[in-house]
Structure 1
Amino acid sequence: MSDVHDHHHHHHDHHDFASANQAFFDKHAHQADHRPQAKEMAASVCKAVLEAYPFDKEATVVLDYACGTGIVARSIAPHCKTLIGVDISQGMVDEFNTGVQDHGIPVEKMRAVRVELKGEETELEGIKFDVVMCSLAYHHIEDILAVTRLLTFFLKPGGTLIVVDYPEMDATAVPKEALPMIAHKSGISEAGIKAAYDGAGLGNFQQVLFKGPKSGMHPEDIFLAKGVKL
């Protein structure tokens, strides 16, 4: 979960989302899990993800993209066989792996790597995943179709892509504290996320809404979208 909002104002041009986000998350990784409501938010997201897919702790192999510190992944891990987190921020990956160690989780079960995925067969040891998930990071991504195609590449046939994020809202309704210390969009419309899933060749599109914790920093409504690699 990469959604780090704090009160430092960093203004970035939108032409380079990735490096702006990487620099921000490297700097703030150590604070991420201590933000107000980080745990409540992670619990809300985890509950929605576990309801969206029939995880099997003996079999399900999961990729958590833009995994952040692993605060969501640690709650998913007991329900799957293996979970690999990827993030472009080394700071986040270090926090993730420290958290795995601190919680006594075996590294074979759960680990994170710093990589900018390109969608090549040699990446991630050639593993294909039952579930690829991305929580609260799509609104930091400029080209969601390209990323959705990328994530679909890492799914097994019949695998499920789960994206959790904020629904589109009027930019004027975004809490001003949340703006733009990092590259950011004001949520994603259902039409926008469905177009990205369709464009990536995913079928059985479904979207559900659920509530996160009340906060001045982010909207309370959250969506979970899912689709299947045909």
Structure 2
Amino acid sequence: MSTDAFGEVNRKFMNERGKAMFEEEWTQKMAQQLRDCLQTNVDWIGIRKLSDDGPPVKMMDYACGNGVVTRALFDSVDIIRGVDISDAMVEEYNRLVRESGASPERVHAVRGNFLDSSTSGAVSGSDFHDVDVIVMSMALHHISNPEELLSHLVQRLRSGGVMVIIDYIKTPSDDLSAWNHAHAHDDHATERSAPVRTVHKMGFSPDEMKKFFSDAGCKAGSFDFRPYKEPTHIPESVTKVKGGLDMTFSIARAWKL
């Protein structure tokens, strides 16, 4: 049975602090940016068009949190299934779905982790296979083995389905190096913020992303990568870097063979 020790660190953090984190000013600003990024790139992403007489368009919102991606793309798909490592985030996601009036048949989240086989039962149903689009937003940098995870995710797509990753772009910033240095030393845990301890790698280059998609089984030539138009500010309280950090995220996509 495969397990994910680093994922368990993230699960505990999000169970304890996830809901409050989504209420912070900087994360709400980022949520607005993510919504804008997704909605302005719907055609570029290449989601299969809604059809009255065809099969429903299915989306998986992986590492769904409280549903930022789901709310952004709600009108572009028929069925959405959220998956998150955190029990508390799944509960919050489903609570917000109920408040929106959407039916659980259309939108619902479950706890799952594709790097931990002990959670596989929750994501074994037909709603989690032959998916048209899978979106993973601002979570890959929390994953200990992104190559393996992307491979599992792409397996869940239908042929021609699209994989979408939104995450920070790797930067040569000395400040970011300091953040990663702080993250690397467990004996300094009292000097670091808890969010930093959940980060495995702070950002990815276009070439890294392209290789992830290719190795996972996406179509050669279908990969594309777009930086978002403005940076997002991560405050000092999170980074423990004086003044915080301004970082730019990208949206990357490719289609399954």
Taking structure 1 as the reference length, what is the TM-score of the superposition?
A: 0.84
Contact 1:148 1:196 (8 Å CA) reproduced: yes
1:162-215 superposed Cα distances (whole Å, 9 cap, x missing partner): 000001123632385876232331211111111111111212111111135642
SS at match of 1:102: helix
1:42-81 superposed Cα distances (whole Å, 9 cap, x missing partner): 2322332231324435542100111111123122112210
Call closer, same or farther: CA 1:67–1:36 in 2, change over 3 Å: same
SS at match of 2:225: strand
The unaligned stretches of length 5 or more in structure 1 are 1-14
Contact 1:57 1:78 (8 Å CA) reproduced: no
1:24 aligned residue: 13
2:238 aligned residue: none
Higher-helix-fraction structure:
2
SS at match of 1:157: strand
Instruction: Indicate the larger mover: 17-26 or 73-82.
Output: 73-82
Contact 2:160 2:255 (8 Å CA) reproduced: yes
1:8 aligned residue: none
1:69 aligned residue: 66
Contact 2:232 2:248 (8 Å CA) reproduced: no
Matches within 5 A, 1:133-172: 133-170=135-172, 172=174
What stretches of structure 1 move > 4 A for 4+ residues in a row? 118-122, 175-179
Q: 183, 186, 190: which one pairs with 2:202? A: 186
Instruction: Indicate the larger mover: 62-71 or 184-193.
Output: 184-193
1:210 aligned residue: 228
Contact 2:57 2:78 (8 Å CA) reproduced: yes
Contact 2:45 2:253 (8 Å CA) reproduced: no
CA distance in 1, matches of 2:230, 2:140: 16
2:45 aligned residue: 53
CA distance in 1, matches of 2:50, 2:36: 16
**Larger Rg: 1 or 2?**
2
Asked if 1:112 is matched to 2:132, the reply is no
Identical positions, percent: 25
Instruction: Indicate the larger mover: 208-217 or 79-88.
Output: 208-217
SS at match of 1:107: coil
Aligned length: 216
Call closer, same or farther: CA 1:227–1:214 in 2, change over 3 Å: closer
State the Cα distance separating 1:147 from its structure 2 match: 0.8
State the Cα distance separating 1:122 from its structure 2 match: 8.9
CA distance in 1, matches of 2:233, 2:123: 38
CA distance in 2, matches of 1:41, 1:122: 29
State the Cα distance separating 1:107 from its structure 2 match: 1.2
The unaligned stretches of length 5 or more in structure 2 are 180-191, 236-244
Contact 2:30 2:232 (8 Å CA) reproduced: no
Taking structure 2 as the reference length, what is the TM-score of the superposition?
A: 0.75
CA distance in 2, matches of 1:82, 1:220: 32
CA distance in 1, matches of 2:100, 2:230: 25
Call closer, same or farther: CA 1:62–1:40 in 2, change over 3 Å: same
1:92 aligned residue: 89
The alignment's C-alpha RMSD in Å is: 2.5
CA distance in 1, matches of 2:61, 2:46: 16
Asked if 1:196 is matched to 2:212, the reply is yes
Call closer, same or farther: CA 1:108–1:219 in 2, change over 3 Å: farther
